[in-house]
C-alpha cells in the first residue's frame, strides 16, 4: 500500500463534524511523522475533506482566504472554534487502532 492511498483513506474516515491533525492523520494512516506527506496529498488532491485537517492543537495552518473558508466550512459542520483554534476536546477524531485483532482485512 502506498502512502498516498493510506493517507487518503484515513482522511476519508473523518466523519462530518470532526477534525484531525496532520500528524494524527499520518499516524492513522500508519506513518507516524509523515505529517508533511499529508500536506502533500491534500494539496495535490481534490475531492478530499481537506477542511477537516488542522495543525497541532487544532490550529488552522492555512493562510489567506483558504483559512477563512476552512473555518467557515467547519463551523458549518458544527465544529466549535475557540479563538483561532478548534475545540479539539470535542472534535478531535480518533483514528481506529491500526492493526488489532478485530476488524482487519489484510
Partner DNA sequence: ACTTTGACTTCGG
Partner DNA sequence: TCCGAAGCCAAAG
Question: Residues interacting with DNA, by CB under 7 A?
Answer: 2-4, 21-24, 31, 33-40, 42-44, 50-51, 53, 55-56, 61-63, 66
Select 65 or 102, whichever has its Cβ closest to DNA: 65
Yes or no: say if 19 and 92 are a contact pair by the CB < 8 Å rule.
yes
Angstrom distance (rounded) from CA 79 to CA 50: 14
Select 62 or 79, whichever has its Cβ closest to DNA: 62
What lies within 8 Å, CB to CB, of 73 at 6+ separation is 51
Select 2 or 102, whichever has its Cβ closest to DNA: 2
Select 51 or 91, whichever has its Cβ closest to DNA: 51
Minimum distance between the CB of residue 102 and DNA, rounded to whole angstroms?
Answer: 27
The DSSP secondary-structure symbol of 10 reads: H
What lies within 8 Å, CB to CB, of 7 at 6+ separation is 25, 26, 29, 31, 34, 37, 38, 41
Minimum distance between the CB of residue 77 and DNA, rounded to whole angstroms?
Answer: 15
Residue 44, all three cell numbers: 495535490
Minimum distance between the CB of residue 96 and DNA, rounded to whole angstroms?
Answer: 19
Minimum distance between the CB of residue 104 and DNA, rounded to whole angstroms?
Answer: 21
Amino acid at each position: 500500500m502506498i502512502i498516498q492511498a493510506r493517507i487518503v483513506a484515513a482522511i476519508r474516515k473523518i466523519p462530518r463534524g470532526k477534525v484531525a491533525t496532520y500528524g494524527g492523520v499520518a499516524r492513522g494512516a500508519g506513518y507516524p511523522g509523515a505529517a508533511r506527506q499529508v500536506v502533500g496529498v491534500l494539496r495535490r488532491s481534490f475531492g478530499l475533506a481537506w477542511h477537516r485537517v488542522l495543525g497541532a492543537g487544532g490550529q488552522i495552518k492555512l493562510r489567506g482566504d483558504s483559512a477563512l473558508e476552512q473555518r467557515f466550512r467547519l463551523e458549518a459542520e458544527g465544529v466549535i472554534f475557540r479563538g483561532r483554534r478548534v475545540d479539539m476536546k470535542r472534535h478531535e477524531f480518533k483514528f481506529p487502532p491500526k492493526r488489532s485483532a478485530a476488524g482487519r482485512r489484510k
